[in-house]
Structure 1
Amino acid sequence: MKNEEEILAHSRDMMISAIAQTMVIYGVTPSVGRIYGVLYFSTEPMSLDDIKTQVAMSKASVSNGMRELLETEMVIKVWKKGDRKDHYVAEKDFLKNFLSFFIKKIRHERNLIIKATEQAQPNLEKIATNSEDKQLKEEARKDLDLIKESYSYFEWTMQLANAMESGEIFNFIPKNPEKKEE
């Protein structure tokens, strides 16, 4: 039986490593990906100390990684009867994780650009309207045109985020497409 236990542990380690590597694609560090992978395969809620032991990282690193996973809603804090420590479980629905992650990224991108636009646009409009320098005036107009052109992109990405959040996107791309009969 020991051999089967080792094979199971090895198989889980391979999957945890693969999860950690794929999370790098989305800008998450491998160590945070490993924390998620350990929680994903855990059948019980885990404390920071439990996780620390499994991933061989410092408690501070695990705590920081956990904070990142909580912010992206890939991990949920749970109460465990008889224990004062915080415990965590992984959200095991990859599709839910994917949607949540991208909705936040899309909205964050839009907010950054909108804030910059709100600060830059009045200055560009003043230059485009009042400058004595024809070249500066033309450059300011071109910059304003670029900003205006970006609005359609941000409107589209917000529609995408809203469709992802509401589930409307599944009307176009079903979660479980029926297998076509041949």
Structure 2
Amino acid sequence: MDDHEKIDKARERIIETIAQNIHLYGLVPSSGRQFGTMFFQNEPLTLDDMTEKLGMSKTSMSTSVRALSELKLVERAWKKGVRKDLYKVTDDWYQSFIDLFSIKWQRSVTLHLVAIKKSLAELEELFQDPALSEELREVVQIDIDKLKYMKDYYNWLERVIDAFEDQQIFDLVPKFEDSNKNAKK
């Protein structure tokens, strides 16, 4: 095996691993292959370039690039003299993760807190009803306690999201900056 084949083999291993794990971002394996292929390119690529490298249709490449862009994993690039749209992998993977994590979890937290608030109000009103049997009062109190626990959890999760968005997470879990210096050159 010559040196070029060794490089290709090492890259292909990473590309396939990205393809297998891209579902964590809600994408299909072909988008992972596209992302992985773009990652190893030192220059931005056009959709035609991607089609040639991956052997997939231009429509498929376009759909995938759009999905990767929406997740801020790839971005448009500009190069003098090139009229076609160019794309490259986003330089800041940390921020891409923060954006994805924050958007997905904030939506979930908001939905849960709205439902909890409404249900708590209903149950607390029911608990005050003097006609409520003692047996049902106990059931309602247990549910109220469970919802208060859930509310505490989602309020905590909001603080976790804030820690990501404010980048305080890096005070707790610092980035590995040194190993990335050579990759950006």
- TM-score after normalising by structure 1: 0.75
Is residue 151 of structure 2 the alignment partner of residue 151 of structure 1?
Answer: yes
Q: Distance in 2 between matches of 1:11 and 1:169?
A: 32
Aligned-partner residue type, residue 149 of structure 1: Y
Q: Distance in 2 between the 1:32 and 1:91 partners?
A: 15
**RMSD (Å), alpha carbons:** 3.1
Alpha-carbon shift at residue 80 of structure 1 (Å) = 2.9
* Conserved? CA contact 1:20–1:34, under 8 Å: yes
Shift in alpha-carbon separation, 1:84–1:126, aligned structure 2, 3 A:
farther
Provide the C-alpha distance between the structure 1 equivalents of 2:120 and 2:58, rounded to a whole number of angstroms.
Answer: 46
Alignment correspondent of 1:167 = 167
Q: CA deviation at 1:81?
A: 2.5
Q: Structure 2: which 5+ runs fail to align?
A: 178-185
Q: In the alignment, which residue of structure 2 is the partner of 1:76?
A: 75
SS of alignment partner, residue 82 of structure 1: coil
Displacement of 1:117:
4.3
Given that residues 128 and 137 in structure 1 are in contact (C-alpha distance below 8 angstroms), is that contact kept between their aligned partners in structure 2?
Answer: yes
Which residue number corresponds to residue 182 of structure 2?
none
**Structure 1 residues 100 and 138: CA distance shift in structure 2, 3 A:** same
Q: Is 1:49 paired with 2:48?
A: yes
Give the alignment's TM-score, normalised by structure 2.
0.74
Distance 2:82 2:71 in 1: 25
C-alpha distance 63-121 of structure 1, shift in aligned 2 (>3 A): farther
- 2:109 & 2:38 partners in 1: Cα distance? 32
Q: Percent identity?
A: 32
Q: Deviations over 1:59-117 (max 9, x none)?
A: 23222222221122111112332233221110244433333322222212213324544
How many matched pairs?
Answer: 177
Report what 1:107 is aligned to.
106
1:112-155 deviation per Cα after TM superposition (whole angstroms, max 9, x unaligned):
32454466566656665669775777666654543332221121
Partner of 2:94: 95
Partner of 1:17: 16
How far did residue 27 of structure 1 move? Answer: 4.0
